[in-house]
Structure 1
Amino acid sequence: MRNLSVMQFGGVLGMLLASQGWAGGISVYEAGQESAGLANAGAAVLSSDPSVLMNNPAGLVDVLGTQANLNGSLLLGDIGFNRGAGNQFDGNEGGNILNALPGSSLFVSHQLNERATIGFGMYGTFGLTVKYDDDWAGRYFSQQATILGVSLQPTLAYRVTDNLSFGFGPRLMYAYYRTQAAVNNNVLGSSGLADGQLEYKDSDAGLGINLGLLYQLGERTRLGLAYTSKVKLEFEDRPSFDDISNPLLDTALRGINLEQLSIDMQVPQTVLASISYELSSQWRLLGSVGWQDWSEFGDIGVEVESTLGGTSLSVNRKYKDTWHVSIGAQYQASPQLRWSMGVGYDSSMVDDRDRTADNPTDAAWRFASGINYRLREDLDLHMTYTLVWLGDMSIRQSKASSGNTLAGSYDNSALHILGGGATWRF
């Protein structure tokens, strides 16, 4: 007797085009803004334009007058599965699973007086489409998964004293989720049948808050501390099944309550601490340390297994909290030109033995650089590039009922993120 895994929804695949991202402990901090060229170093202390409100709302007090910041980004992935020893599924290797993904962000700010500044940000919170070839070896785990989102954040920053500032902003997050997988009809004694198809999709909105403190420690040193609360999202939809040609399987699916399936997502709370030091009139050194509560994300996902013994639902992602550290520098080459560079590291939210096909991720190194050019007194232009290096990631994912295993690796995996934009001062 052979077992069936009908579907797997899983894990957040997210990639933030802004402050949070690919669920897997890889946070994509790049929203196209100038600070993207620092690999997140000093993100909670930099306040050169209104985009600081998404990293530390308190930084908005240093953005003078009225300003607008418009950014664009393009993420290019190079992640592909390679079959390994012990693989028990037929099919091809799936191709490059992460194609070009564009993103954009908009931030505006207005200084009310010497103490208070207001602002608004609209930026991508999630944005990832993972797509394998339909007939790849892991098609019964996942063929395609998409999660896209946007955050809307009004912000108020207030200078409490000459050295201490505070900021906060409620964050409305809207997200769309879709997953697709093949259904194996050749179970429960049947053979020679073509695959069926499963699709699940829904959208939802949730509310959180961003808080921040900014402290001037002497003439050369600034400290920043920022917190983002978790945001709860709940997707509810009736799974769609097509081409279920096995009558016993069709009966088993009808026998369980799949009129509405709920998937709860907890976008994790985060803490970020940053420091900057003015080494000279031209050089500024920056650093950041961060924590992200991905362990609360661990119950995301549904796996439905059908055998002659019945049908069951189970899930266990075994995600864990992650840490981030980064260092960087800015060089003011001339009154018009500023150069940024940074190196960062994010720990993995999943152990090698728990990696899954719908969220192939690992610890990541990021190497970033960018330039900002003052074209006019009221207009700055910037461009950034980030390499996110994931390296080699092994996978051994098994079906809960049958024990059949997808085995292999994702070798030399990397993300390339291009960004650019402009800041206007009115």
Structure 2
Amino acid sequence: MKSKFLAFLGSAVLTAGVANAGGYQANLQGQKQIGMGHAGTGLALDQSSIFFNPGALAHLRQNGIQLGVSALNSKTRYREPSPGFAETESDNPIGTPFQVYASYGPSESPVRFGIGVYTPYGSSVNWGKSWQGRFGLNELTLQAVYIQPTVSYRITDKLGVGGGLVLAVGSVNLQRSIPLTAANGQEAGIELDGGAFGVGFNAGVYFEATEKLSFGLTYRSKVDMKVDEGDVTFTLPTSPLIASQFKADKFNATLPLPANITLGIGFKPVDGLTIAADVQRVEWSAYKALTFEFNDNVRGSQRVPGSTSYESVSPREYEDSYIFRLGAQYALSDIMTLRAGGYYDQSPVQDGYLTPETPDSDSRGVSVGLTLKLTESVDLDASFLYVNKKERTDDASKSGGVAGTFKSVAYIPGVGVNYKF
């Protein structure tokens, strides 16, 4: 139990996964692209190119501001191993990942400037305080926001390059039960609360080979999110002996948000129809383990030689994975464009490493969307994404998680407004 206590703490900081992406990555960065299976690296669709491919931004001939939000409704069902077979379903609040993009440049200039604010990582997981795995997790709330100033340059009418600095800010709140009776007669517990910060970049190349065929290649760097001086709060028995084993009130941790390499193709076989295909490699192998450092003793931790701090190391051993995306849009009329798409997302979590905050498995997503042209300057986008993760049984023997069977689904409507000037 002692080793599992610390293994869980190490795994849970900033790792709340959403049900629409492998590991703990969320893919909801543009309403048009969501409607096309989140494909769009090889296209110059709108200001969301700041995320999907900064090299395509300079090929947009209009300035614009784009706002969008999705309503993430995810559920995970857990079934404990035999002989009990009791089931529990998470009661997650609805998440609201958002995106804000703006770009500006003189109409004839090859340079365009932009800024994006979006949420590539973020979720809430609520298992409650009575489920079988409560000593693994009660509740976890995560938010990570990327702020990306961007510059894009149109080298020729066919070729563009671009890039932007990423400033990432985030927060995490974690609650779990401890198998002890607290002074109030309830089960003991722990709450972790802290902010995080990291720096990275996003770069891309866009090439329009012909009027019907275009290509894109992007690289989003790894961002090390660091939690410094987060707060640790225990609810414990009044026993001095127990209190001496849980003395920490601050923690530090670092979590790698992985690098992504994406190759995209855009194809226009006939007037009005656009087909997009992306292959995305997610370099999850950067997440080998998470070192969790306390400013004082926590039961089961190890004293750092030559230091007053204590630490635990939780193995994760994630593997690199791929996401395959395919989508299409069709201009039904001058005022309406329809979209549909799908993707297949490989899980980076190996057998034995499954945890209740990221009960990940290979997933399939299907989506639809549309755009309505309200005026010459204003468009309304809408999307709907359904995600179904494969049922997965794991003994959690290497992660210190909760053994059992997990099944996740998500229903994600979204809406966005584009203003062009």
Q: Give the TM-score taking structure 1 as reference length.
A: 0.87
Distance in structure 2 (CA, Å) of the matches to 1:399 and 1:212:
38
Q: Does 1:280 align with 2:270?
A: yes
CA positional deviation for 1:391 = 2.6
8 Å contact from structure 1 (residues 22, 128) kept in 2:
no
Residue number in structure 1 paired with 2:46: 49
8 Å contact from structure 2 (residues 111, 152) kept in 1:
yes
Q: How does 1:334-373 map to 2 (within 5 A)?
A: 334-373=333-372
Aligned residue for 2:72, secondary structure, equals: strand
Q: Does 1:227 align with 2:207?
A: no
Residue number in structure 2 paired with 1:253: 246
Aligned residue for 2:48, secondary structure, equals: helix
Q: How does 1:9-28 map to 2 (within 5 A)?
A: 9=9, 10-11=11-12, 12-14=14-16, 24-25=22-23, 27-28=25-26
CA positional deviation for 1:78 = 2.0
Q: Does 1:387 align with 2:389?
A: no
1:58 to 38, 55, 59: 55
CA positional deviation for 1:93 = 4.8
Q: Does 1:184 align with 2:182?
A: no
Distance in structure 2 (CA, Å) of the matches to 1:250 and 1:327:
55
8 Å contact from structure 2 (residues 75, 89) kept in 1:
no
Residue number in structure 2 paired with 1:209: 201
**Percent of matched pairs sharing the same residue:** 23
8 Å contact from structure 1 (residues 5, 184) kept in 2:
no
CA positional deviation for 1:396 = 2.1
Flag the 1:386–1:423 CA change in 2: closer, same or farther, 3 A: same
Q: Does 1:170 align with 2:165?
A: yes
8 Å contact from structure 2 (residues 233, 249) kept in 1:
no
Distance in structure 2 (CA, Å) of the matches to 1:356 and 1:246:
31
Residue number in structure 2 paired with 1:414: 409
Flag the 1:312–1:228 CA change in 2: closer, same or farther, 3 A: closer
Flag the 1:232–1:87 CA change in 2: closer, same or farther, 3 A: farther
Distance in structure 1 (CA, Å) of the matches to 2:287 and 2:66:
32
Letter paired with 2:389? L
8 Å contact from structure 1 (residues 174, 203) kept in 2:
yes
Distance in structure 1 (CA, Å) of the matches to 2:373 and 2:20:
32
Q: How does 1:297-336 map to 2 (within 5 A)?
A: 297-300=287-290, 302=292, 306=299, 313-336=312-335
Aligned residue for 1:353, secondary structure, equals: coil
CA positional deviation for 1:26 = 6.1
8 Å contact from structure 2 (residues 251, 292) kept in 1:
no
Distance in structure 1 (CA, Å) of the matches to 2:197 and 2:311:
29
Flag the 1:93–1:305 CA change in 2: closer, same or farther, 3 A: farther
Q: Does 1:98 align with 2:92?
A: yes
Aligned residue for 2:245, secondary structure, equals: helix
Flag the 1:150–1:4 CA change in 2: closer, same or farther, 3 A: closer
Letter paired with 1:408? G
Q: Give the TM-score taking structure 2 as reference length.
A: 0.88
8 Å contact from structure 2 (residues 352, 398) kept in 1:
no
8 Å contact from structure 1 (residues 185, 246) kept in 2:
no
CA positional deviation for 1:276 = 0.8
Residue number in structure 2 paired with 1:75: 72
Question: Residues 307-352 of structure 1, C-alpha deviation per residue, up to 9 Å, x if partnerless?
Answer: 7x99983411221111111111111111221111111111001023
Aligned residue for 1:397, secondary structure, equals: coil
Question: Residues 359-383 of structure 1, C-alpha deviation per residue, up to 9 Å, x if partnerless?
Answer: 1111111101101111211111111
Task: Return 5+ residue gaps in structure 1 as ranges.
Answer: none
Distance in structure 2 (CA, Å) of the matches to 1:14 and 1:336:
39
Residue number in structure 2 paired with 1:111: 105
Letter paired with 2:37? A
CA positional deviation for 1:420 = 0.8
Residue number in structure 2 paired with 1:263: 253
Flag the 1:3–1:73 CA change in 2: closer, same or farther, 3 A: closer
Q: How many residues align?
A: 405
Distance in structure 2 (CA, Å) of the matches to 1:416 and 1:338:
22
Flag the 1:408–1:5 CA change in 2: closer, same or farther, 3 A: closer
Q: Does 1:85 align with 2:82?
A: yes
Question: Residues 102-139 of structure 1, C-alpha deviation per residue, up to 9 Å, x if partnerless?
Answer: 23221111123331111111112322011111121111
Flag the 1:203–1:312 CA change in 2: closer, same or farther, 3 A: closer
Letter paired with 1:260? K
8 Å contact from structure 1 (residues 103, 124) kept in 2:
yes
8 Å contact from structure 2 (residues 203, 218) kept in 1:
yes
8 Å contact from structure 2 (residues 21, 27) kept in 1:
no
Distance in structure 1 (CA, Å) of the matches to 2:109 and 2:357:
49
Task: Return 5+ residue gaps in structure 2 as ranges.
Answer: 304-309
Q: Which one is further off, 152-161 or 297-306?
A: 297-306
Residue number in structure 1 paired with 2:306: none
Aligned residue for 2:58, secondary structure, equals: helix
Distance in structure 1 (CA, Å) of the matches to 2:255 and 2:292:
12
Flag the 1:299–1:4 CA change in 2: closer, same or farther, 3 A: closer
8 Å contact from structure 1 (residues 94, 133) kept in 2:
no
Distance in structure 2 (CA, Å) of the matches to 1:349 and 1:87:
29
Aligned residue for 1:342, secondary structure, equals: strand
Letter paired with 2:387? V
Distance in structure 2 (CA, Å) of the matches to 1:83 and 1:301:
29
Residue number in structure 1 paired with 2:232: 239
